[in-house]
């Protein structure tokens, strides 16, 4: 569960963006330059997105992602307050 917390946090942002903007997975995939199945994998929150995917998401979603990597290898998505 803890291992996928980062992926689930990214997934939540993607799902919320699609809901607010009324995009289908295919439409968001076109904006991101990926297939609908790639968006579905992101939204499942089970696999870590690559840094390139995070860059694309930041551009398309119009947001920044603050990542924290700890010495034990933990990875988490921080909010703006940190």
**Residues 35/56, Cβ–Cβ less than 8 Å:** no
Pair of tokens at residue 44: 């499942």
Q: At the fourth CATH level, which superfamily is domain 2-78? A: lambda repressor-like DNA-binding domains (1.10.260.40)
**Residues 32/61, Cβ–Cβ less than 8 Å:** no
By three-state DSSP, how is residue 48 classified?
Answer: coil
Buried b (16+ CB within 10 A) or exposed e, 17-32: bbeeeebebeebbebb
pTM score: 0.86
| pLDDT tens-place string over residues 10-60 | 999 999 999 999 999 999 999 999 999 999 999 999 989 999 999 999 999
């Amino acid at each position: 569960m803890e291992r996928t917390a980062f992926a689930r946090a990214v997934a939540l942002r993607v799902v919320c963006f699609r809901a607010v903007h009324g995009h289908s997975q295919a439409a968001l995939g076109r904006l991101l330059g990926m297939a609908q199945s790639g968006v579905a994998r992101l939204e499942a929150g089970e696999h870590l997105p690559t840094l390139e995917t995070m860059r694309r998401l930041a551009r398309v979603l119009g947001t920044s992602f603050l990542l924290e990597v700890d010495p034990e290898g933990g990875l988490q998505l921080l909010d703006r307050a940190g």
